[in-house]
Amino acid sequence: MFTGIIQEIGAVQALQRADGLLRLTIYAPKTASLVRPGESVSINGVCVSPVRVRQGALTVEVIPETRRLTNLGALAKGAPVNVEPSLTLSDRLSGHLVLGHVDGVGRIVQRKRQTGQITLRIRLDRTLRRSIVPKAPIAIDGVSLTIGERLSPTTFSVFLIPETLQKTVLGGRRVGELVNIEIDYFAKLIAQWRARS
């Protein structure tokens, strides 16, 4: 479990594909000093477990299902990634409860600069969009954000403050890029309950 408060921007150091797995090595020295093999870490909002931790880098294995539902399969060598170690019971919950179980990807369709912020408009599948609630929490590439508006049956917006732009990969995201979406767990439960009623 995570908070969506990104602790470090890491970088893809190496990629290997073998036996259906994608093996990613992420250089993230701050996080690597806190994590041991088998523990949970969030990479762009995806909960994974390092199989190796050494020399400031984490090596994780990504299965086909995770590649299908997330943007990890599209990463290239040198790509920046959001990194967050898992919560401990003594940590402050500064963002919101993020499970690291990505629901799917969205595509940035607009990036608009306004005074003091940038607004991202994101398109996603209609089935995911049904669980989007204005002013509710959402994780975008693992970053805890607040939903701005539901703009159409397939789009919504989020607002990025300068701190978020500086300390996460969202500052460099451009129109057309894919981002990982994790909808708030409680919003999903309510949507499921309403669908059964």
Question: Domain map of the chain by residue range?
Answer: 8-85, 104-196
CATH code of 104-196, in short, is: 2.40.30.20
Nearest Cα to Cα of residue 41 among 75, 88, 79, 80: 88
**Residue 111 pLDDT > 70, yes or no?**
yes
CATH code of 8-85, in short, is: 2.40.30.20
150-162 residue pLDDT tens: 778 899 999 999 9
DSSP-derived pairing of the beta strands 50-54 and 57-62: antiparallel
pTM listed for this prediction: 0.91
Query: For residue 77, what pLDDT is reported?
Result: 97
Q: And the tokens for 181?
A: 């979406």
104-196 and 8-85 share a CATH fold? yes
- pLDDT tier at 197 (50, 70, 90 boundaries)? low
Q: Who has greater pLDDT, 127 or 197?
A: 127
CB atoms within 10 A of CB 175: 11
Mean local confidence (pLDDT), 118-147: 90
Query: For residue 143, what pLDDT is reported?
Result: 97
Average pLDDT, the chain: 92
Ordered DSSP codes for the chain: -B-S---EEEEEEEEEEETTEEEEEEE-HHHHTT--TTS-EEETTEEE-EEEEETTEEEEEE-HHHHHHSSGGG--TT-EEEEEEPP-TTS---S--B-S---EEEEEEEEEEETTEEEEEEE--HHHHTT--TT-EEEETTEEEEEEEEEETTEEEEEE-HHHHHHSGGGG--TT-EEEEEE-HHHHHHHHHHHH-
Query: For residue 112, what pLDDT is reported?
Result: 94
- pLDDT tier at 90 (50, 70, 90 boundaries)? confident
Query: For residue 193, what pLDDT is reported?
Result: 73
**Residue 95 pLDDT > 80, yes or no?**
no
